[in-house]
Structure 1
Amino acid sequence: MYASLLKDSRVLFLLSANFFSGIGAGVTSVGVVWLILNESNGEQILGVTTLVITLVMFLINPYIGVIVDRFSRKKLYIFNQLLCFCIILPIGLYGLYSSNFHIWQLIVMVFSGSLYWTLHFPTLLAFVQEIFNKEEYNSLSGLLEVESQAATVGVGGMSGIILGHIDYAYVFLFDAFTYLLALVLVLLVPYTKTFEKPNDKEVTFVNDIVEGFKFIKGKALLAIFLLSSLVPFLFIMVSNYLKPIFVNNTLNSSVNVFGFSSMIYAIGAVLAGLFIPSLVDRFGVKRSLIVIMSSFALAIMVMVSVHTVFVFLAIQIFLGTGNAGTRVIRRTVMLHLVDNSMIGRINAFFNTTGLLLRAILIGTFTSAISVIGASTAYLLMGAFVILGIAGVIYTRKILDYNIEEVKPNVMSK
């Protein structure tokens, strides 16, 4: 299934760049979160930091969508790597010199990581859609998921082995140079900009919200599907705040369990990337997606019911498979049904909506976490996933790919 794609130099360079930058960013993310949690009032600091960053990403997401639609996707990819390199390198060097980090430096690294992924995913989606053919979208989605989660496996393994044993300054310096390596690899990807720029009207937050509402008005079923299938990813994003608290307070475990949980989660996601395209070909996209999301919801309920390290780690397989499997199908739907000149803004609209929901949830949990605990918060998120499953069932007919492609002239109606 992937053999022909892996002979394409563009695929190899792009996958390698994603892999190395993902390894560095992931290990740093785990390390920074743990350092913050070990500060005085660490839970509250992490919660407020996550909430503020989410709100900032919510405000800038529409602009990112417009930027992705206006400029060279390759140059944007390179800029993203260079920006993070310039942020992480000085902080790592400072830690090497002083043997400690200020809390503001840790917060800056959390922010830079969030900004990196906020720009990375829509740029990558538009880049892939622009330079590859439609016939390759399904396999490419699976292959990108395999690569992404293989990097996360490496992150989890490295986090479990080195964090707490090696000076964090060296970890952050390693991260900085993975961004630099990714930059060099992307430079090697052959690329000619082919998409048309959107109309040169004023770029404002309001204009982008209007674009999103025009899309919803004309493509309600697709809009509901994209929002509903975003729920597992939203769960994982909120879990980035809840998981370290769950491990630390509910399971009374160490950073090693936290790191290994990311590795095991990623193994499940790699399996999804390898087998979901074949599963869809055999059983159909509708049945496959509903089963994947239902398994995801069931895994959450088991995790909050049985508080042991073994069960927690085992459940990560199902969470990884569920989120990655849903994302592969969701990404393929967008590649098929959204025109390349609009995909940045359409993707940004749904990301913005997801960020708003994430901000509300994290804000609620931050203020209540000391009372309800991480386990109850996870249970509430499980109920939210069930609502997402209902939305996917309601809109399942769009998975036949038989609706009109979303193009600029459609958006202007």
Structure 2
Amino acid sequence: MLAANLISTVGTGITSYLIVWLLIDQLKQSVLYGLLTMATMILVFFASPYLGSLVDRYSRKAIFLYMEITGIVVLGVFSVLCNVSAVLDITLVVMLIFYHTAYDSIKYPALAALTQEMFKKEDYSKVNSSLEVQGQAALMISSGLAAMMIGKMDAAVILVMNISTFIAASILIYQLPYQRNAEAEEHSNTMKNESYWKNFRSSLQYLCYRKVLFVLLLTSFIPSIVIIVANYLDPVFIYDYLNEGPSVIGIANIVYAIGAMGAGFVAYQISKKWSDMQGVILFMAVFALATIAIFLVPNAVTFIVASLFWGHSNAAIRVFRKSYMFHHVDNAYMGRVNSLFNAVKLLGQVALIGILTITVVPAGQTVYGYFVLFIIVIAALLTTTYLFNRTYNKDKEKRVSL
């Protein structure tokens, strides 16, 4: 499974870079790209109930496999028909963007549910750490390959190479020794007799009965929301506020990736001594310190160093959060719970970017944007710490009474 995910992630990574290059550089459709980005975000938000239910209704292995096979077909059609006409090329790229969005929105909830289903509880931290290291490695590999190929090779040739990664991933996924357990199969059959909306409502009821779990997971997603918002804020801060060049952002992206890659190893070692939520709290504190440092000492060096700790802490939090979810969310609900939080995360990103766009950015004070992000992270950290301590103390009292 790890090999299949690595190969397919490299392929989709190259494809994502190719899409942007084709639409903006070759077809000169930068406005269309912006509109499509907004459209896909809205689509994913409203489609989340359906996508999450889809993952919980059917075999996760089958979903993973069908997504790869669909990718082979979509990229195959594109490679054959591209360069026929400008209108057709634009149409094909639009289709590719929607496929790529659907692929990511379905694959990652399915992968999480499949991982939880296939591995033992004692292996969750190790597997999630391995997946994190692998994901960051795939990102670096795809970025490097994209830089070497895009603009220097024909788009059709690059697509054919990407198709080969989907084929290889499909073969590996097909060979996975996967068998759905009886409980999951029974729950799946029950879901198929209900509407997708009813399936989704049952996941909301599931979380409503577990309010502490819901809030802990919600607050642990805050750093990942902040990272996406910072991707919007960073260029404005570097170019307009610090008056620095693109090299600063380039170096920051490299050290971010290095920090993120090392997080998988560090998180696994810490998980041997600390609980998942203690790990989340630790790295949320590191994330908060890195964020406020940019506000207190706004210069290029601080920004680059903060990027290293951002990458490391955000990736580590993701590892611990996944392991915590695997231990506390029933596998029958994993797809819907993941999709729900993805929708909430998307809503948070849009809201924060909107607030910063009409406040600190027009005023030329983007540095205050990092202070706003720091306040949000601190609020999430304090909430997480309070709820964890309360839950921990209750469990401790129960053990003492026994």
TM range (shorter): 0.7 to 0.9
Matched residue, 2:185: 196
Counterpart amino acid of residue 53 in structure 2: V
Measure, in 2, the Cα distance between the counterparts of 1:118 and 1:101: 26
Matched residue, 1:349: 340
Unmatched 5+ residue regions in structure 2? Answer: 396-402
Q: Tell whether 2:113 aligns with 1:120.
A: no
Bigger Rg, structure 1 or 2: 2
C-alpha displacement at 1:31, in angstroms?
4.0
Counterpart amino acid of residue 69 in structure 1: D
Indicate which of 55, 58, 61 corresponds to 1:68: 55
**SS in structure 1 of the partner of residue 362 of structure 2:** helix
Q: Deviations over 1:65-117 (max 9, x none)?
A: 21111111111001111222322333344446679994554443333222111
Alignment of 1:4-403 (within 5 A): 14-33=1-20, 36=23, 42=30, 45-95=32-82, 102-194=89-181, 195-198=184-187, 199-200=190-191, 201-205=193-197, 207-239=198-230, 251-253=244-246, 264-302=255-293, 306=298, 308=300, 314-362=305-353, 371=362, 375=366, 379=370, 380-397=372-389
In the alignment, is the contact (CA less than 8 A) between 1:333 and 1:399 conserved in 2? no
Measure, in 1, the Cα distance between the counterparts of 2:393 and 2:157: 48
Measure, in 2, the Cα distance between the counterparts of 1:57 and 1:277: 32
In the alignment, is the contact (CA less than 8 A) between 1:160 and 1:257 conserved in 2? no
Counterpart amino acid of residue 64 in structure 1: L
In the alignment, is the contact (CA less than 8 A) between 1:18 and 1:182 conserved in 2? yes
In the alignment, is the contact (CA less than 8 A) between 2:291 and 2:374 conserved in 1? yes
User: After alignment, is 189-198 or 86-95 more displaced?
Assistant: 86-95
In the alignment, is the contact (CA less than 8 A) between 1:269 and 1:324 conserved in 2? yes
**SS in structure 1 of the partner of residue 331 of structure 2:** coil
Measure, in 1, the Cα distance between the counterparts of 2:357 and 2:97: 17
Unmatched 5+ residue regions in structure 1? Answer: 1-13, 404-413
TM-score scaled by length of structure 2: 0.81
Distance 1:335 1:215, change over 3 A: same
C-alpha displacement at 1:226, in angstroms?
0.5
Aligned residue-pair number: 385
Counterpart amino acid of residue 271 in structure 1: G
In the alignment, is the contact (CA less than 8 A) between 1:336 and 1:401 conserved in 2? no
In the alignment, is the contact (CA less than 8 A) between 1:245 and 1:374 conserved in 2? no
Distance 1:96 1:19, change over 3 A: farther
In the alignment, is the contact (CA less than 8 A) between 1:138 and 1:277 conserved in 2? yes
In the alignment, is the contact (CA less than 8 A) between 2:12 and 2:162 conserved in 1? yes
C-alpha displacement at 1:237, in angstroms?
3.9
Distance 1:91 1:369, change over 3 A: farther
Counterpart amino acid of residue 357 in structure 1: G
Q: Deviations over 1:217-269 (max 9, x none)?
A: 31111100001101122233445656677778775438x965x7655433222
**SS in structure 1 of the partner of residue 194 of structure 2:** coil
Distance 1:401 1:247, change over 3 A: farther
C-alpha displacement at 1:15, in angstroms?
0.8
C-alpha displacement at 1:352, in angstroms?
2.4
In the alignment, is the contact (CA less than 8 A) between 1:47 and 1:241 conserved in 2? no
**SS in structure 1 of the partner of residue 176 of structure 2:** coil
C-alpha displacement at 1:124, in angstroms?
0.8
Measure, in 1, the Cα distance between the counterparts of 2:23 and 2:365: 17
Counterpart amino acid of residue 76 in structure 1: I
Measure, in 2, the Cα distance between the counterparts of 1:112 and 1:25: 11
Distance 1:359 1:340, change over 3 A: same
